[in-house]
Amino acid sequence: MLSILIVEDSSVIRQRLRSLLRESGRVGLIVQAESEPEALRHLELFKPQMAIIDLRLRSGSGLGVLRHLKSHAPACLAVVLTNAAVAEVRDACLEAGADHVLRKSTDFERLLEFLAGVENQKSPSRSGTDKL
């Protein structure tokens, strides 16, 4: 069973993510954070196999979480899920270490594609299909 960190300030989106992940039958532990400081505390205590990160948070930013994650736990699959659908945002996320950058409005269900790869200790490679 997988362990996942959700970093998202919207309670509605967090609930939707939890439901989607639980229904997959592959996720055991889900930890949530609404801010960068909270996410960084969770990362120190909890070693997730996958992190789903929004860029806009209550405090701090998803890019800060992403940079910390990739410098302290580079094997963790980092998926940015955002409404900021511009190429510059995608490029900044990939430069900060994101493995995938997805749109909340159209790519929500794609998160399930990554679960099998994480279970097998390998991540699907970065893909041009992640273009915003």
Report the C-alpha gap between 70 and 86 in whole angstroms. 22
Residue 27 lies in a domain: yes
pLDDT of residue 121: 64
Domain-embedded: residue 129: no
Q: Which residue range is the domain that position 77 belongs to?
A: 2-123
Burial of 87 from C-beta contacts in 10 A (0-12 / 13-18 / 19+): exposed
Consecutive 10-residue averages of pLDDT for the chain (132 residues): 94 94 90 97 92 95 95 93 87 94 87 79 48 48
Q: Kindly state whether residue 26 falls inside one of the protein's structural domains.
A: yes
* 130 located within any domain: no
Predicted model pTM = 0.88
Q: 14, 6 in Cβ contact below 8 A?
A: yes
Q: How many distinct structural domains can be found in the chain?
A: 1
Whether 62 maps to a domain, the answer reads yes
Q: What is the model's pLDDT at position 130? A: 52
- CATH number of the structural domain spanning residue 80: 3.40.50.2300
In this structure, is residue 132 part of a structural domain?
Answer: no
